[in-house]
Amino acid sequence: MQRNISIQHPNRSFLETTRIDNWWVGPLLTSIGLLAFIFYSTWAAFQNEHYQWGPYLSPFYAPLLEFEWWPLSPAFLILWAPAGFRFTCYYYRKAYYRSFFLTPSACAVGARPQKYRGERFLLVFQNLHRYFLYIALIFCVILSYDAIVSFSFENGLGVGVGSIIMTLNAVFLTAFTLGCNSLRHLVGGNVDCYSCASFGHQRYQAWKFVSLFNVHHNFWAWISLFWVGFTDLYIRLVSMNIITDYRIL
């Protein structure tokens, strides 16, 4: 049972590996999850109806910007911001570099052959992630406001299933944003000597706080992604009278 092989370096052709575990499951599930979200959110943005019901407003349409001069769905006026935030997020970059760009699809599995330039040429815009963070922080406030509004029904304050769903949406999005690597840098990561810098101790505490969320950034990324789609779907179905919003209180 001998076989002549060569382990020349660089040695592996595309996708070649001697791993025997199911290394392709991760990238496959990631692609399915990301594609499902992209298809659903694009479809929902094109609908231009059923995004509101009672005190509920779909997060794809929040803040609601309706202008005479804008012929398309108002969703397109705002969706570029969360889309850009997630697209340039360090976690999502890992996810789609692995599952769509295949550079590499998994560790010790041959990467897609190319003149590799990493994030230096075409992808250098990824360095602007911090600007999307600034906008995302504003969105956290807007969606929290919408979540509070979702408790005020025509006949007074109340709690519907939709209010809970919208509140969780704001919570998940905030938890995702609080773990952002650019935020971690901004609040304290860029300090070398906390005991010498002004407000050094506070910045160290802030850095530690952001780090708590940063450790699970991929978890919050998926939960918040799923939930924002689910929130839109729920409000859509209620507004289409396919399901009825249950009033808890």
Partner 1 sequence: MAEAQFKVFRGEGAKGELFEFPVEVTEGMVVLDAVQQIQSRHANDLAVRWNCRAGKCGSCSAEVNGKPRLMCMTRMDELSLDVPVLIEPMRGFPHMKDLVTDVSRNYEINKKIRPLTPKPRETDGTYRMQQEDIERIQEFHKCIECFLCQNVCHVIRDHSVKEFAGPRFLIRIASLAMHPLDTLNRLKELKDVFGLGYCNITKCCTEVCPENIKITDNGIIPLKERVAGAFYDPLAWLWKNLTSNSKKIPEKNK
Which is closer to partner 1, CB of 103 or CB of 244? 103
Please state, in angstroms and as integers, the Cα–Cα distance from residue 122 to each residue in 82, 117, 140, 153, following that order.
21, 8, 30, 49
Kindly state the smallest distance separating residue 17's Cβ from partner 1, in Å: 5
Residues that bind ligand FES (CB under 6 A): 89-91, 129, 133, 180-182, 217
d(CA 85, CA 111): 26
Which residue, 14 or 46, has its beta carbon nearer to partner 1? 14
Length of the chain: 249
Task: Choose the contact partner of 155 out of ligand FES, partner 1, none; CB within 5 to 8 A by kind.
Answer: none
**Binding at 113: pick from partner 1, ligand FES, none (beta carbon under 5-8 Å per type):** partner 1
CB of residue 37 vs partner 1: minimum separation in angstroms?
Answer: 20
In whole angstroms, give the CA distance from residue 43 to residue 51.
12
Interatomic CA distance for residues 31 and 118, integer angstroms: 20
Residue pair 198/12 in contact by the 8 Å Cβ criterion = no
- By the 10 Å C-beta count (0-12 exposed, 13-18 middle, 19+ buried), 232 is classed as buried
Q: How many CB atoms neighbour CB 179 within 10 A?
A: 23
* Shortest separation between residue 125's beta carbon and ligand FES, angstroms: 14
- Min dist CB 107 to partner 1, Å, is 4
Quote the tokens at residue 94: 């890992």
The number of CA neighbours under 13 Å toward the Cβ of 162 is 29
Tell me which residues touch partner 1 (CB under 8 A).
1-12, 17-21, 90, 93-94, 97-98, 103-104, 107-108, 110-111, 113-114, 116-120, 123-124, 127-130, 181-182, 184-185, 189-190, 192-196, 201, 204, 214-215
Which of ligand FES, partner 1, none interacts with 107 (beta carbon under 5 to 8 A by kind)? Answer: partner 1
Residue 89 interface partner, choices partner 1, ligand FES, none, CB cut-off 5-8 Å depending on type: ligand FES
- Cα separation, 67 vs 157, whole angstroms: 30
Which of ligand FES, partner 1, none sits in contact with 180, Cβ below 5 to 8 A by type?
A: ligand FES
Contacts with 81 (C-beta within 8 Å, 6 or more apart), sequence order: 132, 135, 136, 139
Minimum CB distance to ligand FES, residue 115 (Å): 27
Least distance from C-beta 30 to ligand FES, angstroms? 15
Residue 133 touches which of ligand FES, partner 1, none (Cβ within 5-8 Å per kind): ligand FES
Cβ closest to ligand FES, residue 91 vs residue 139: 91
Tell me the pairing of strands 52-53 and 152-153. Answer: unpaired
